[in-house]
């Protein structure tokens, strides 16, 4: 379990008086939600436009399989786009798009509606309809959002694959969900240069061969770089979508209609396809975006820096913010291209008021120095958010002081791909925030820290983070694997009906919650969840590797970093640095650059119990420079000294 230093007397920051006076959500919401949960969530659902009203808020009769807003019908794309145009807000900017090379586009809600309608008509012309799966593999460009909303408009289910994932990772996701169409681009821009995407799609489909379910590949022209084109399957977006009609009538779908599948690393090598449906998910995303960011859509300019390939991009760039009708910034590139002040330059240019980013980015800016953001006018900001991993108190304080000018509250949000919406967070007009603490469950949410038996731990104690009651945006199942859904999330505390989040947590002396990190074999690297077994499988697929063990080690920049311990095949000499670099590159090819180990140590043996189980906690001790813990259960305790010596040599190299 990754620890987080909790100050003995945590600093508190009271809500700014002016924000508290006009806050969207006040303290009374907690009691109201507690006394009448169904009434509270019915009220939040009325943020949306329903084609047919729901007859029941929650059907929990087949727990843990939930049905929210029973019998209700709606269309997610209509709620995110059309209704704002119909209300006379079509001229309002939906997105200020900033490309990494410096190109910009302002897209109004009326223009977004036309683009989504054209794309919906184009998908229909390609034989895509309700119940079909579409894989989206795009950079951070407007077409990614248009593609998602076009799928939602016609009832197709989308699965967005992060553009940094490899062809192999893309192939596994296409194969698992049986995607009928892939939407990609020639590439995007990354650190000042074109970064190709279409070749990875070609490689993925080639890998699947005759088992590929894909009929067509729709390609957005972004960089203009040459890409191979198969006239039998490949189509240019500008030809197919550009020539389609902007007139399209959205169809209403059941509240439980599948909206998207998002793959997330699990404790086995196979990624989990997490299924989110429409009505509950859209309600949860819109409500929490409104409440936690104290959103004033008529005046706020909101910017979430997440990639569209992760759940944060789904809930807090696409569905929540667009349902709330806000103006957003959408940026394609990295924070250091073409210079390290790029993000602050964008905030200054567009007058961003609400900013949502990851602790990894904040710690990187800290290393670069405050003189960079100090060059820019950040006075438009009124609220800062943190997402993806626990934020350490030092980063929180730097963020609040340097970026927020000691006037902006920081909302440190805890939630997961599985939860679909924020679950634990300060309310900016209510909570006296503590640096490093996620604080309390939001109104309507049940969360607790419990011991092995599921009993709530006393203040000042640590345990397991659980969710004690259902919530609207909760995952409905795992794609084509309901048994794994129940086993993964609901069996540990089955008698109590608790959802086990996989995270450890602590209650401080006030009962506020501090997230301590994963307790299973999943790492959190720069806010991205990676499976140790998936990386181990990638390493072992290399012809020179016999066995591998991977752990997540604390890292001051990324939160956790991948550290691998590898046994070579018998008789295989160690080529030192050349081999470790080859193995790192191999992992990047198999999974993606995000999974590349920070350090690989070649070892003669791994620490195993007599039953053959690898003791990863001992490897984590070595990787983080601690004294090695109890080795009495190992079949050969002496192996730890050999590993520690090799690790020191490897780190020195």
Binding-site residues: 190-193, 312, 388-390, 412-417, 503, 518, 526, 529, 540, 542, 545
What angle separates helix 167-177 from helix 577-590, to the nearest 10 degrees? Answer: 30
Coil, strand or helix at 626:
coil
Closest among 316, 130, 121 to 218, alpha carbons compared: 121
Containing 199, the helix (H) or strand (E) segment is helix 198-208
Q: What are phi and psi of 162, to 5 degrees?
A: -55, 130
Binding site listing for CoA? 190-193, 312, 526
DSSP labels, 68-98: EEET-EE-HHIIIIIHHIIIIITTSEEEEEE
619's CB contacts (< 8 A; 6+ apart) are: 549, 551, 563, 565, 606, 607, 643
Burial class (CB in 10 A: 0-12, 13-18, 19+), 412: buried
Tell me whether strands 499-507 and 522-525 are parallel, antiparallel or unpaired.
unpaired
- Residues 295-314, buried b or exposed e (16+ Cβ, 10 A)? bebeebbbbbbbbbbbbbbb
Q: According to the 3-state scheme, what is the secondary structure of 59-70?
A: EEEECCEEEEEE
Burial label, 251 (beta-carbon count in 10 A; 0-12, 13-18, 19+): middle
Contact assessment for residue 342 and residue 110, using Cβ atoms and an 8 Å cutoff: no
- How many other C-beta atoms can be found within 10 angstroms of the C-beta atom of residue 415? 26
Q: Are 83 and 75 in contact (CB under 8 A)?
A: no
Q: Which residues are annotated as a binding site for Mg(2+)?
A: 540, 542, 545
Cα 298 from Cα 576, distance rounded (Å):
59
Q: Give the CA distances from residue 472 to residues 60, 277, 283, 284, in Å, rounded to whole numbers and listed in that order.
A: 11, 10, 7, 6
Nearest to residue 434, comparing CAs of 409, 460, 454, 401? 409
Write out the binding residues for ATP: 388-390, 412-417, 503, 518, 529
Please tell me what DSSP assigns to residue 270: S
Q: 213-248 burial string, b = 16+ CB within 10 Å, else e?
A: bbebbbbbebbeeebeeeeeebbebeebbeebeeeb
3-state SS, residue 135: strand
Any residues with CB less than 8 A from the CB of 233 and at least 6 apart, and which?
214, 215, 216, 217
**Three-state DSSP class for 185?**
strand
Cα pseudo-dihedral 593, 200, 332, 375, rounded to 10:
30
Q: How far apart are CA 303 and CA 577, in angstroms?
A: 41
């Amino acid at each position: 379990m990754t620890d987080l230093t909790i100050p003995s007397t945590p600093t508190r920051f009271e809500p700014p008086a002016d924000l508290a006076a006009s806050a969207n959500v006040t303290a009374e919401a907690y009691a109201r939600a507690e006394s009448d949960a169904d009434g509270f969530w019915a009220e939040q659902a009325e943020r949306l436009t329903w084609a047919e009203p729901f007859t029941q808020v929650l059907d929990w009769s087949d727990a843990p399989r939930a049905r929210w807003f029973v019998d209700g019908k709606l269309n997610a794309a209509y709620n995110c786009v059309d209704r704002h145009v119909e209300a006379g807000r079509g001229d309002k900017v939906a997105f200020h798009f900033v490309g990494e090379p410096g190109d910009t586009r302002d897209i109004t809600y009326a223009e977004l509606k036309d683009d989504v309608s054209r794309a919906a008509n184009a998908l229909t012309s390609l034989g895509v309809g309700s119940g079909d799966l579409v894989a989206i593999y795009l950079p951070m460009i407007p077409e990614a959002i248009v593609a998602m909303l076009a799928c939602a408009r016609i009832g197709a289910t989308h699965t967005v694959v992060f553009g940094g994932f490899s062809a192999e990772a893309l192939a596994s996701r296409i194969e698992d969900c049986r995607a009928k169409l892939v939407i990609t681009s020639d590439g995007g821009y990354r650190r000042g240069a074109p970064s190709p995407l279409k070749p990875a799609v070609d490689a993925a489909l080639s890998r699947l061969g005759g088992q590929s379910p894909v009929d067509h590949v729709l390609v957005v022209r972004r960089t203009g770089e040459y890409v191979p084109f198969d006239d039998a399957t490949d189509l240019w977006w500008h030809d197919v979508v550009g020539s389609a009609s902007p007139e399209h009538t959205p169809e209403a779908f059941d509240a439980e209609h599948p909206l998207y599948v998002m793959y997330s690393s699990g404790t086995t090598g196979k990624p989990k396809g997490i299924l989110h449906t429409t009505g509950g998910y859209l309600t949860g995303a819109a409500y929490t975006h409104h409440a936690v960011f104290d959103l004033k859509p008529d005046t706020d300019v909101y910017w979430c820096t997440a990639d569209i390939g992760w759940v944060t991009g789904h809930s807090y760039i696409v569905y929540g913010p667009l349902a709330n009708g806000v103006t957003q910034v959408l940026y394609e590139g990295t924070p250091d291209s073409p210079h390290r002040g790029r993000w602050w330059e964008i905030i200054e240019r567009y007058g961003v008021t609400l900013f949502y980013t990851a602790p990894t980015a904040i710690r990187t800016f800290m290393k670069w120095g405050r003189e960079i953001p100090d060059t820019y006018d950040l006075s438009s900001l009124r609220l800062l958010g943190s997402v993806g991993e626990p934020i350490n108190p030092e980063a929180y304080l730097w963020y609040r002081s340097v970026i927020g000018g000691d006037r902006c509250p920081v909302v440190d949000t805890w939630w997961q791909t599985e939860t679909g919406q924020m679950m634990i967070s300060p309310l900016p007009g209510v909570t006296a925030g503590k640096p490093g603490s996620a604080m309390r469950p939001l109104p309507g949410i049940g969360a607790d820290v419990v011991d092995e038996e599921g009993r709530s731990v006393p203040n000042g104690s640590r345990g397991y983070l659980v969710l004690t009651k259902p919530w609207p945006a909760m995952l409905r199942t795992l794609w084509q694997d309901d048994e794994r859904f129940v086993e993964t999330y609901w069996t540990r505390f089955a008698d109590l009906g608790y959802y086990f989040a996989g995270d450890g947590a602590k209650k401080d002396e006030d009962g506020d919650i501090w997230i301590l990190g994963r307790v299973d074999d999943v790492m959190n690297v720069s806010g991205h969840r990676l499976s140790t077994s998936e990386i181990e499988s990638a390493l072992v697929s290399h012809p020179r590797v016999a066995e591998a063990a991977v752990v997540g080690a604390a890292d001051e920049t990324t939160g956790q970093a991948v550290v691998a311990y590898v046994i070579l095949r018998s008789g295989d000499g160690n080529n030192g640095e050349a081999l470790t670099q080859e193995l790192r590159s191999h992992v990047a090819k198999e999974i993606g650059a995000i999974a590349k180990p920070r350090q690989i140590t070649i070892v003669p043996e791994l620490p195993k119990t007599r039953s053959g189980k690898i003791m990863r906690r001992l490897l984590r001790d070595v990787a983080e420079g601690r004294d090695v813990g109890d080795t009495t259960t190992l079949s050969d305790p002496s192996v730890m000294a050999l590993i520690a010596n090799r690790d020191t040599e490897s780190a020195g190299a």
